[in-house]
Amino acid sequence: EADIYQTPRYLVIGTGKKITLECSQTMGHDKMYWYQQDPGMELHLIHYSYGVNSTEKGDLSSESTVSRIRTEHFPLTLESARPSHTSQYLCASSARVGTDTQYFGPGTRLTVL
């Protein structure tokens, strides 16, 4: 299995709370990604990063924000959680060169009440 970790694995939180989902990888990958996986299981890219201090929005608009201060760490933050944010969030990483295969973390299942 790939060395990419996400915490927490499960989070139940009330509306209006600020939350940060953690993602870290030990593979030295330059590129990192956040996907949102809805109940129908389809995955949508919401953020990605090519390297330190580089972040871009993905295909699906999201109220979340990300930062990339260190190569191995790519946290996602929701300033004020809402029930519409309830979903599974998957983090992934890939190397800059080669076929660029993305390796996925175990995911965080977020429920906002």
Partner 1 sequence: AQTVTQSQPEMSVQEAETVTLSCTYDTSESDYYLFWYKQPPSRQMILVIRQEAYKQQNATENRFSVNFQKAAKSFSLKISDSQLGDAAMYFCAYRKAAGNKLTFGGGTRVLVKP
DSSP assigned state of 63: S
Length of the chain: 113
In sign, the C-alpha dihedral spanning 71, 73, 74, 78 is: negative
* Minimum CB distance to partner 1, residue 15 (Å): 26
- Chain position carrying tokens 């389809």: 42
Strands 10-13 and 108-112: parallel
Nearer to partner 1, 83 or 106 (CB): 106
Which of 23, 76, 78, 90 touches partner 1 (CB under 8 A)? 90
Q: What does the per-residue mask of binding to partner 1 show for 29-68, with x meaning CB under 8 A?
A: --x-x------xxxxxx--x-x-------xx---------
How many other C-beta atoms lie within 10 A of the C-beta of residue 24? 19
Residues in contact with partner 1, total (CB under 8 A)? 26
- Is 12 near partner 1 (CB under 8 A)? no
CA atoms of 63 and 27, how far apart (whole Å): 28
- Is 102 near partner 1 (CB under 8 A)? yes
Residues that bind partner 1 (CB under 8 A): 1-2, 31, 33, 40-45, 48, 50, 58-59, 90, 92, 94, 99-107
